[in-house]
Structures are given as structure tokens and as C-alpha cells.
Chain A
Amino acid sequence: MIRKINVNDISNAIAKMCIEANIVIRNDIKRALKKAFHSEKNKRAKNILKILLENADIAEKDKLAICQDTGLCVVHIEVGQDVHLIGGTLKDAVNKGVEKGYTKGYFRSSVVNDPVSRKTKAKTYPAMLTTEIVAGSKVKITVFPKGFGSENKSRIYMLNPTDGEDKIIEAVVKTVKEAGPNACPPFVVGVGIGGTFDKAALIAKKAMFRDIIKPNKDKGIRSLEARLLKEINDLNIGPMGLGGKNTCLGVNVETYPTHIAGLPVAVNINCHATRSCTRLI
């Protein structure tokens, strides 16, 4: 049975989700920040964590963006194969929704149309849209505004197939170390292992849609997440890079089958403003 969904409904949902994601801190992130605040021994680090919690309260109360970098708006949509989208194109509907949400929310226009000449005035769209056809008759939308202080520090490594877990950890830790004080620690780190060059980057990004308190379902990957978190926190970068044991609030790893000749590892750096909102239509 084919279900008809008007793209205007998707557009309106996205507008609301842009506002919520940019203003209301995710529950898992808030919990992780509170935990970090309570566990931190370094006085300055503790005070910075306190201010970040205060920042989240002010943002929600006064409907202000958690961070002025309201980012490029990443939108991922899973479309059930029994859905027939009507009323226009999905791409236009998504961009319209992002523009509406960003304008209504008083968010920043950070999108420059020509990345080389950078001549035209910045806008709020296009969204960084990815779609996936899945089973069923529903549409699942995730809106993930991505700031560039941290995005700039993200890296991809094409490791050797025989490199194994230790080299993966080395690559992730190296990336975090290089991000250092510049990418707004405490971080949240998304790691994509496997696939092709682009697939690894995509699953690293999608790893961030997952609650950071929920570990990966696979036992081996779960233990890799725990090892990564420990090694990153042992770097003593701390909030704002001024020392402290809370360098990272969470590490989410996702994997995908890959080629016998390769081991792609994508590391997506995020700050505490790891913002997202998911809805089902």
C-alpha cells in the first residue's frame, strides 16, 4: 500500500526541528556535561564546564542559539519505499524548511555559495542533504546543525588492512590532539570505520545522531569506544584546552564492511554543541 506524504509536511517539520536543535541542548550531552562538571578536579576546567551548563540554560530560556555557529545544516532522511512524495521536490522542501527555521530562529547565515570566490552573500541553505531508501511507509528525518570550528579539525585516514585496532586508536587520538584547544573541547567524537572514502565519513557523521550514553551494540566496537574515550581523556587537553580530565564527553563508533585492501577511518570532531533532532512522519 503506497502512502502519500506531501513534502510541505517535511518542510514544516524541518523548520521546527532546526529551531529545536539549535536552541535546546541534547539530553545526553547535558547529562554528560553535568557528569564532567561533577568529576572534574581542575578548578578552571570545572568553572568552564559550569559556564557551558549555564549557557545551555540561557539558550533554552531565551531562545538563543547554543552556539553562534549554527553551522551547515546536515539533514538525513530515511524514506520508506512505500512512500510516494507529492507536492514538489524533496530537495526544495528541505531547503525551504531550513531557511524558514533559521530565519524564524534568528540563526546565522553561514553558507557561502561559491567556495572558491566566496563572493555572494552568505545564506542559510542549501542543507547538506543525504537520503536513504528503507523498508516501510514512514519518513524519518534527522536535522544536525554542524559548526565548523570542529568540522575543520576532522580527518580521514586510509589505513592498511593489517593495521588493526591499535593503529585506529592512534589515528583518532592524533586527530583529537591536533584539534587541541582550537575546536572547543570538551569534544564529542564520531568515528566511521570501513566502507569507501566517502562512506567512512558519512557513517562517522551518522554516529553522532546516536545518544552518546548508548554504546555500540557490538561488543568489540563497544570496547573500542571505551578505549578511545579513555585514551582521549588521558591527553589532559581539558575544556578550552586549558587542562583537565574531561577532554571528551563521548565517542561513537560505527562500522561498515570494507575492501580486503583497505581500512578507512574517518574522525568527525564535534564540540559540546553536538546538536540534533529526529522526527518520524
Chain B
Amino acid sequence: MKKLTGTIDQKTRKTLKAGEELLYTGIVYTARDQAHKRLSETIEKRKKLPFDLNNAIIYYTGPTPSKEKNKVGSSGPTTSSRMDKFTPLLLNKGVGSLIGKGSRSKEVVNAIKKNKAVYFITIAGAGAYLSKRIKSAEIVAYSELGAEAIRLLYVEDFPLIVAVDSHGNSIY
């Protein structure tokens, strides 16, 4: 299976095709509902963001806590469509890749195409399985949100399927 490591830049994103399966090793940032709301508000107020959005990979997940330090427990994808209303803004601000589960709105697909971004899905319902591929975790922002805080995860051979490619082709 194809492997990708480190930054997934626009040049790499343009080579990915809807339906393609790959394994990713590198850094992803977790963000779900409340974190998206806060990031959007921060952008609108032109304030400083908690991490660099340029080519960033956002993973929609809210993990269970772990018994070990700097780790997370089960950590599968949450439903991406709930983030649809915030996603075009984040893509316009530089986010390059998204990871979640399920379909996206027309507006998101258009924003992916415009920004040459990519939307991946990972194995829905396999939180325990995926946790084994998350090697470390640290909170980057909004720790008071608990499971919804933004975390930096270092993942190894994390399974991804290209669901919407940079040309706007969708697997669904």
C-alpha cells in the first residue's frame, strides 16, 4: 500500500485520487465541533491561532483518555458533516487535509477543489484499532474542552482512504 510521510503539501495532494488507500505517518491535529467554532471565531477576530494552519491535517476525533502519559485511548473518526459549516474558512486559511467519516456538503467539496485540498476517511468504529497507530499526543489548545481540546498527534501507518480528492471527485 502507498505510504505518505510528513507534510502533505499541495503537490502531493494533487496526485491523490478518490478511492485510493494509503498509510500516513506524521503529525495531525485533532479538532471537532467546539474547537472548530473557536478556530473560526479566532480567524474572524483576526487573532492568533493556536497552531499553523498551513498544510495542516485536521482529524475529527474526540479520544477517550489514556492510562499512559502523552497518549490517547480509543480514537476513531467522528461524523465530518457536522464540521461542514466551518470547513471552507479553514481550507481558505491553509488547512490542506481533513480526516473524518462520512460525506461532505457541496460547499466543502467546492472549497476542497478551489484550495487543492483533500478529504480522507479512516476506519469508522475502529477507535481501539486506530489508537495503536497513534504514538503520542499533546494538548495544543482549549484543554478545558476535555475530549474536544485540540491535540497534536503523531501517527504511524494511519490508514486513510481518499474520499474527496483535490479535483473534487468523491468516493460516495
Contacts and interface: CB of A to CB of B under 8 A. Distances in A.
Interface of A: 48, 51-52, 54-56, 58-59, 62, 64-70, 106-110, 118, 121-122, 149, 152, 180-184, 240-242, 271-273
B129 A58 contact: yes
A243 to B, nearest CB: 10
B63 A108 contact: yes
A65 B103 contact: no
Contact of B65 (A106, A181, A273): A106
A118 B161 CA distance: 33
Contacts of B14: none
Interface in B135-153: 144-148
Interface of B: 34, 61-67, 73-76, 78-81, 101-103, 121, 123-129, 131-132, 144-148, 159, 161, 171-172
B129 A67 contact: no
Given A69-B76, A109-B146, A183-B79, 20 more contacts: A55-B126, A56-B128, A58-B128, A66-B127, A66-B128, A67-B127, A67-B128, A68-B63, A68-B75, A108-B64, A110-B147, A181-B101, A181-B172, A182-B101, A183-B102, A240-B101, A241-B102, A241-B172, A242-B161, A273-B125
Closest A-B pairs by Cβ, 8 of them: A182-B102, A68-B74, A59-B128, A55-B129, A68-B127, A55-B126, A64-B128, A65-B74
Contacts of A149: 78-79, 101, 124
Contact of B76 (A67, A121, A182): A67
A106 B64 contact: yes
Contact of A55 (B62, B78, B103, B125): B125
A180 B170 CA distance: 15
A67 B75 CA distance: 7
A248 to B, nearest CB: 14
